[in-house]
Structure 1
Amino acid sequence: MSAITGSLKRLTTLLRNLFRALWVFFPGILFLVLTLVCFWNLAQGKDLMVLATEHRGFFLLFQSLLSYLVLVSWYAARTVANAKRTCGHTAQNYLQEGYYKHMPRFIGFTIFTIIILAFVQTPLFGSAIEDDSKIHFVLLAASIPYYFWMNRFFERRFKVIRLNRLFLITLLLIITGSTLITFNIERYSWMVILMLLVLQACFLVLVVTRREILKQYKKDGKNTSQTSSKVQKLADKLGIPREEIRFHVIFLMISLVALAVYVACTLNVGFAVSLGSFPFVLLAFSVFMGFGFILAFISIRIGINIHLIFVILAFLFGQWTERHEVTLIEKKPAVRESFANKASVRDYFIQWVKDRDTLIRKSKEFPVYFVLSDGGASRSGYWVASVLGKLEDTSQRDFSKHLFCLSGASGGSVGNAAFYTLLKNAAARPDNNLPGNQSFYRAGKEYLRSDFLTYTLSRMLGHDFFVAMLPMDTRGDRAKALTEALEWAPKDSVLLKRQLQMPLSELAIYKDRVDTKLPILCVNTTRMQDGQPSVISTIAIDPLTFNNRIDILARLKENKDMKLSTAVVLGASFPYVSPAGRIDAYKFLKNGPTEFPFYFVDGGYVDNSGAGVVHEMIIKLNSLRDSICRSNNDTILRSNCQKLSFYVMHISNGPEGDVLLKKVNPFVNDLAAPLKTLMGAYGVQTSINDSRLKNYLREMYGNNLHYKPINLYRPQEPLKYSMNWVISGRTLDSMDKRLYSADVRVYMVKILQELKR
């Protein structure tokens, strides 16, 4: 009985110390979990690692930032441990001494382990290992005894770091390995793991020998001889041991350099892109972890948990501040037209048919194409721009003559906008071609290969976090950063950097001058407050035709305008990368137009493909065409309308097939059933809109030939394409191969054949 009681006491003591350690070192533990989730569970995180390896000098930069992250995690945790251990007589027994010693080391050691196993799961090491996730958790668990064995081994063998043969061999291995990896990561990918294991061991040697040196310094009284009394007093006030003052100064200098790089990324698109997303995430995690430990340190010193105070202040300041206002521009003086005077779909359709009179007369059937573009960040944008560009090139510019409308959401709108901008560039030139006769396919690809993520992340993991502590309005959130990235990040693209800065007042189609050289552009969004579908369009979105969808441009103040880049970002405001954007716009009440704050998010919340607005448009046009065909007023228009045939091309980029339904934990069911239902409804609403449109076309024509899906994914596709605002070259090359696959080519051939009827 006494043995059982003793075991229970030891178990209770162990659990008490573990939970207390989790609380004391919570920032470090939190970022261990975040690092694991980001680079193990998320396809985007794995792809960012692959993307980083595609840049020259990758490993040198990666080594530096990973080493700094480990340094911050270890030393910040150690500083908090010292503060907790020396803060009052009750705190001295709060944790067993071993936890104060090992937890900071283990946090730094485990960051190496998580990153090593993350690299093993990337395509660099083959898909077979990538798919087997259980073994990696087993290896992560095995790293715990591995840490204690290595720590004990180094404590016995190393007291100081000497310039001996072992030191020189290690240094030579690090330099040689870094050089080989930098020059050819594909060939020496296995060396990444070896190098990280060496660096992990070097980290333990450093912390072990440093502890021995500090013990000796303290014993000999050398710590006070080289620092001024003022510095010593400041160190005593902050709770920093005097023997560690020199290291604190060095650590502060390194941190200032890292902080300068961090701030520079939030201020300059080019600098952020040159650093890259994966290195920036490591840097941002270092800053956030350091900030978290600083708050923990202060909380321990003053005896008050200030984390909660910051949360309360952020909420209170939000009652009268605004962080996410959409940046609208002033209308140019030369632009006198009001968005309220935009042409209706009827006006555009009649003029569109008249402008193509010669082409329609020559054809037996004249296809009219409506393009739906699913959301999916750069994955969607790249696929959409590739498909549309390839069709335009292979049809020798005939496809755009049959293109009536481009509709999409999120990344699909970015792909649509890129193609739309290319069409505008070509239309403005005498030869009706792109500069240098570059192909639409290549031009769109070059643009969508750009890094739109790093600068956006720099605001998300920097500016947007810290400004929440300010009691005044702020500007320049991550949505604004994504807008600027879309405008400025491209380097070698025929799409000039300022093309997406074009005001929509110059692109809109007005009643008195209907220009049909360009198709209708519809960027679908959703009003956050009530889920009302909304559209930013170059034509008027009247409530009768489009079932009370909100025409955002028509609600703006007379002197306000919106850039094309702002519009597509507003349609791509999907948490958490881009928040809901606020626009102060008019709501038409009985007593007249009244201004209200509207918040808009991703169109995918209601319709991820833009099928809804196209369906309503086709219903209107079908009715209009029938009335024209019955009319005797214009025989030429009537004859032409009889030849029109509506086709919908749905460019999608998501896996197909039924969702595998699993058991729901009763605890989750009790607490989060509404949330899980809403998350499920997100995808269902899109599929219902698509099916409704498909069924309508089938009933109209009696076949399925008028709804043409072109999906990036094959049925039962094992490959996963990362959905992110930057994609690795390896993934983009796979998408290029998909464009030339047999089933996609068959679809494109059918479309081209239809254009020649």
Structure 2
Amino acid sequence: MSKSAREEKRSLFFYVRVTMLSLYLNITGIVALLIILVTLAIQQGQDIIIQVGEYGAPFGFSFFCILLWAFLNWYTARLLTYEKRNRNRLIPPEFHKHIPRLIAFHCFVIVQAAIYALPTFQNSVIPGEDTPDTNYYHLHGIGTLLFYVMHGFIYYLLINIIENKTKVKRPLKIISLLVLVAVNIGMFLYYLLTHWHHDEWQRHVFRLPWFALLLFVSELAAVVFFILRRRRINDFNRQKNIVTGNGLEIGAGQKMFAHGLYIRSKYRAAERKSQLQFAYVAVFAVLVFIVAVRSVSLSNYFGPLAILLLGLGVLVFFLNLVSFLSIRAGLNLHIFAWILAIVFGLVQKPYNVKSFDTGNKQVFANQPSIKEHLIRWAEQRRSLLDSCGDHNFEAFIILSNGGGSLSGNWTSSILAKMQDQSWTPDSTNTFADHLLCMAGASGGTIGNIAFYSLLKEEREGRLPAGQLYAHTKAFFSTDFLSNTIGHLLGPDFFSHLFFCNLSGRDRARALEETMLYSDRDTLTGSLLAQKLEDAFDYSGKMPALFINSTRVDNGMPGEISSVQLPDSTQRINMLELMDRIDTARGWKPQTMQLVTAGVLSSRFPYMSPAGKLKPYYFVDGGYFDNSGAGIVLEYLQNITEILVKDPDPRLDFFRKKLHFTVIQISNGFIKKAESPKEVHPLVNDLATPILTLAGMQNSSTKIGDGILRGFLHRYDQGAGDSAYIKFNLFDSTDKVDNYPMSWVISDYNLERMKRRADRLMMYEYYVIRERLGRVYKGRGF
């Protein structure tokens, strides 16, 4: 080596350069680590971790999938480094040796850190009480960074002690290692003992420290395995007289294999058994993932963390395999994969909304108008209306804000509790007897349709009264996430490369099927499987139902409703679109299941793709209006105009008897007003469009809510606030937003939501009950 080359090798620039090259070579595994790091740090990820500590199956399968994830990360990275060392002798062997190990090592460390950083460990647990009394330590801020540094030192000390490179300061290193191990054991004992006493719904605070300890032991065992395995390979090479250089270790005169996945030349002998074992494990992991994704019940049995890690492991295996072949072929095959995906995307349309032909029958053409539904609704309540004076009959209108299972559970819980409680004092004058209209978006829509379908069963006598909450509680305790995220990481990803979806359904349809085949509540699932024309009630027993969506190409709101939309609306009538016939385009009348309509209102990328309905794509209704206030305003304006101006005598018996009250069921954290912040010039140039679009979603919802409030204020002659009742999951005393907005909720957070709903029922419900007999004198149209 020349003097200049040796100087370059000793320079800081050289080490920075080779570090960046090594990291780039292993970018897939590193990105997978970062994805898990970020995911488990946010509320949704924290709730996934909590669920690992609640049930035995997710506990065991999550640990098993962490092992698979770490193994696939490590061995595919080793294959890349072997191949790269043969092609490029610039990177020192130590980089190739340690980076794959560190990637696998941190698979265990990241999950441990996520467990010890759970906010639920901050408080002691007092059985039977809602609120804890004392704050305890949990990882956060600088503590989390020190946790990673500590485990980095554990890796360094284990390597130095076992490899026994030098006996200098060896006793000090052993003592240091024992101290760091003792610190980790001490953390385990601290978290365990401070939460020894707990209620059943808080059981994760006792079980998760054991999971963290199991991961810590596995982390140490993995490092020992790496070192002993390398020692065995080196001993084998010395016995076979295989030369070890800065490039690939090969025997003199041995030819290079130019094809296949084999490690080259004589070095293959030392790796033959390991390579075969890796092939078995990789095939096993892929098969387990395929079986889990194809089965809703098995995905739920695994749990979301296990499916997430297993899916990422399979993706890392596939992408690193492509990188391996790219290095061997001297050609970037990832570019060809992108080209293939683009070409296939021009001819395949994988995200069609599931629909059914109706035999050329336009099943939505005879939907009642708003006026006809209002008259039928009043006729069903004639005895109550006849006994009321002017403006004495409360007509409740529901707005349900979006937010995944969180809002679905919260919405259905509030509505079901009000109906169940109102049945006891007077079965002839229940909450449902005053329910005129329901609207919502995203998860709020799912809550609405679950309640709507169960309420219809109750009002038609097929479900005993007082059982709505029990069914909605069971339904929303279902894991809607595991199978959905499995499709995101598996079939939906590979469908871009194989011209078909390998599971036969995309992740939105997987979400629908998880709801239909809920093992927690089969009744609700069966009701959501109904076709819309069967699920909707046209007799007047049920309220009008509005399901919001948003069209992708122009941002206009789309609407699926149980009544005809007002003539003046600018919204896209999605049922009219389904009824449309166009022989030139091959369009025939179609229908869809109730669950499909609900999920079409909840397609929030990237968890669910935009759904193609005939020529248009639709996404989450919350993009335009996250509460449903817009369609409710149009609905109320139309009704008031009918009641004031329409001379139809069928309206006379209730023309002046209705008083509208909006009940908004929201889950928004109440933030204090903040002073405007300065925008960095780079952020101004690069990110303001994204930040503005993100802020517009909440702003458009607030504007819609405000306009609706203004309408009620004018209609009610200055008392609009009394006609607007809000059930918010958060109250003004909450200091942080600590409820997960996801498609799965842990038992811990379900119980917290139940207790919050029970507290609200002690106050707001009785306000509503009072209003069922409240008289409004001197006010009206």
TM-score, scaled relative to structure 1: 0.87
Equivalent residue letter for 1:53: G
Q: What does residue 657 of structure 2 align with? A: 643
Distance 1:6 1:153 in 2: 31
Give 2:297's match in structure 1, choosing from 270, 276, 287.
Answer: 270
- Correspondence for 1:439: 467
Output one character per residue of 1:251-275: Cα deviation in whole Å (capped at 9) or x when no partner.
2222222211100122111111111
Aligned partner of residue 35 in structure 1, secondary structure? helix
Give the 3-state SS of the residue equivalent to 1:372 in structure 2. Answer: strand
Alignment of 1:193-342 (within 5 A): 193-221=212-240, 236=262, 241-331=268-358, 338-342=363-367
Residues in 2 aligned to 1:139 and 1:453: alpha-carbon distance in whole angstroms? 30
1:360 equivalent among 356, 363, 385: 385
Q: Distance in 2 between matches of 1:473 and 1:50?
A: 32
1: distance between equivalents of 2:609 and 2:499?
19
Partner of 1:568: 598
Letter in 1 for 2:666: S
Q: Distance in 2 between matches of 1:480 and 1:330?
A: 18
Partner residue in 2 for 1:133: 141
Contact map agreement 1:235 1:245 (CA 8 A) in 2 = no
Query: Hey, what's the Cα distance between the residues in 2 that align with 1:235 and 1:325?
Result: 38
Write the distance in 2 (CA, Å) between the matches of 1:57 and 1:493.
Answer: 20
Within the candidate set 738, 742, 767, 1:750 is matched to 767
What is the CA–CA distance in structure 1 between the aligned matches of 2:524 and 2:327, rounded to whole Å?
54
Deviations 1:418-439 (A, max 9, x none): 101101212332xxx625x552
Q: Distance in 1 between matches of 2:416 and 2:116?
A: 36
Structure 1 spans left out of the alignment, 5+ residues:
159-165, 167-172, 585-596
**SS class of match (2:652):** helix
Matched with 1:162 is none
Map 1:509-520 onto structure 2 (within 5 A). Answer: 514-520=538-544
Name the counterpart of 1:169. none
Aligned positions, number: 699
Structure 1 residues 497 and 308 mapped into 2: Cα distance closer, same or farther (>3 Å)?
A: same
Q: Deviations 1:338-376 (Å, cap 9, x if unpaired)?
A: 312211111111222222111112233100111000010
Shift, 1:7, TM fit: 11
Instruction: Check whether the contact 2:370–2:566 (CA below 8 A) recurs between aligned residues.
Output: no
Shift of 1:235: 6.3
1:350 lines up with 2:351 in the alignment: no
Q: Hey, what's the Cα distance between the residues in 2 that align with 1:238 and 1:565?
A: 54
Partner of 2:13: 12
Q: Which secondary structure state, in structure 2, belongs to the residue aligned with residue 113 of structure 1?
A: helix
Counterparts of 1:701-712 in structure 2, within 5 Å, are 701=716, 702-703=718-719, 704-712=721-729
SS in 2 for 1:749: helix
Contact residue 345 and residue 539 of structure 1 kept, 8 A:
yes
Q: For 1:112, give the aligned amino acid.
A: F
1:39 corresponds to 2:35: no
Q: 1:502 to 1:372 in 2, by over 3 A?
A: same
**Unmatched segments (≥5 aa) in structure 2:** 1-5, 124-135, 167-177, 179-184, 243-249, 581-587, 775-781
Judge conservation of contact 1:235–1:242 (CA < 8 Å) in 2: no
For the structure 1 residues 485 and 118, does the alpha-carbon distance in structure 2 shift closer, same or farther, using more than 3 Å as the test?
A: same
State the Cα deviation string for residues 449-488 of structure 1 (Å, max 9, x = none): 1111111111111000001013468851111111111111
- Between the aligned partners of 2:637 and 2:259, the Cα distance in structure 1 is 79
Q: What is the distance in 2 between the residues matched to 1:376 and 1:363?
A: 38
Where does 1:52-63 land on structure 2 (aligned, <5 Å)?
52-63=52-63
Q: For each residue in 1:168-196, what CA deviation from the matched residue of structure 2 results, as whole angstroms up to 9, or x when unmatched?
A: xxxxx9xx99xx99x97543543333322
Q: What do the CA deviations read for 1:227-270 (whole angstroms, capped 9, x no partner)?
A: xx9x9996657677221111111122222222111001221111
Q: Is the 8 A contact 1:373 1:413 kept in 2?
A: yes
Change (3 A) 1:131 1:343: farther
Please give the residue correspondences for 1:128-167 in structure 2 after superposition, counting only pairs within 5 Å. 129=137, 132-156=140-164
Compute the RMSD of aligned alpha carbons.
3.1
Mapping of 1:351-750 within 5 angstroms?
351-364=376-389, 365-396=392-423, 398-429=430-461, 434-435=463-464, 439-471=467-499, 476-488=505-517, 490-493=518-521, 495-508=523-536, 514-544=538-568, 547-556=569-578, 557=580, 559-584=589-614, 597-627=615-645, 631=647, 634=649, 637-658=651-672, 660=674, 661-701=676-716, 702-703=718-719, 704-717=721-734, 718-741=736-759, 743=760, 745-750=762-767
- Tell me, in whole angstroms, the C-alpha distance in 2 between the residues paired with 1:332 and 1:439: 37
Q: Structure 1, residues 552-587: CA drift from partner, whole Å, max 9, x if none?
A: 011114531111011001100101110110011xxx
Indicate the residue corresponding to 1:593 in structure 2. Answer: none
In structure 2, the CA distance between the partners of 1:105 and 1:69, relative to structure 1 (3 Å rule), is same
Confirm whether residue 24 of structure 1 aligns to residue 43 of structure 2.
no
Match of residue 116 from structure 1: 112
The answer to whether the 8 Å contact 2:439/2:628 transfers is yes
After TM superposition, the score normalised by the length of structure 2 is 0.84
Q: For the residues of structure 1 that align with 2:241 and 2:206, how far apart are their CA atoms?
A: 50
Q: Which residue of 1 aligns with 2:86?
A: 86
Moved more, 400-409 or 239-248: 239-248
| C-alpha deviation, 1:96, in angstroms | 1.6
Counterpart in the other structure of 1:170: none
Cα distance in structure 2, aligned partners of 1:613 and 1:339: 19
